[in-house]
Structure 1
Amino acid sequence: MIITLSIKLVSGIYAENEWACELEVAENMSLHDLHHAIQDAVGFENDHMYSFFISRQAFGSERIHFDGEEFSLDDDIASLFPLPKGKKLFYWFDFGDDWIFQVAKSRKKPREPQPGRHYPFVTTETGSKPVQYKGYDTEDEDEW
């Protein structure tokens, strides 16, 4: 079955504008695979460490990390929802630049995959995608 996730940029070193998308994914997708899907959706280079955590807020001190004790990065996305009351799921990429995205399950009902559509699939996008490396234009590398 296919479920819809809402991905929303919360913070990042160069986060100047709001950005969010709805992402259709297979409900048995792992968090490892979700990491790659978010990277593709936002257009980042997959060149840093990442983590997922559950907390009341993005910068809260009480975080449940996916370290294999209670939750694992191999867990199916569908098994995480519903989250504990008052808690949210966050994706944290690049521990230096601190790109944090909130991940929420949409209220849309799970459905069968559409024939010919490749998943994960971005259905909607709002705002402006953040620039991962502001001031480092890879097209101008010859000038270095």
Structure 2
Amino acid sequence: MKRFAVAAFVVVAGLFASSLHAQNTEVRFTVPFNFIVSGKTLPAGTYRIYAHPDSVLIIENVNRPVGALSYISFEGAPSTPQEALVFHKCGDLYFLHEIDSSTTIVNGELPTSKAEKQAGRMVASAAPQNVTIALKK
């Protein structure tokens, strides 16, 4: 009986630690426009992002079965003073470029996709504009 109690404690402690870890790796945000991640267009809406230790980002819409995967190069300190997402805007297209979050491990830049490079060439008259959206807390 004592072994069972110890085993149950270890399982519960592990689940608690996992849930704490999950909280530190999730970011939620609402985007009012369609945006592109790794060449995939995602509709406007509320999303959550999870970071995987292998530099993989999982982006999921919280209301629809829509999402995308991307690599991310993790950074130390955010480049903006607020918790925010940074998009590159090329013409009418928005590309998720950076996540700045000092309260989670989800903090870094996404690689420039082929679609973003192509859109940048099409709008050669101007460099991409940065559009920043504050993260929900």
TM-score normalised by length of structure 1: 0.29
- Larger-gyration structure (1/2): 2
Higher relative contact order (CA 8 A, sep 6+): 1
TM-score, scaled relative to structure 2 = 0.30
Task: From the two aligned structures, give the one with the greater helix fraction.
Answer: 2
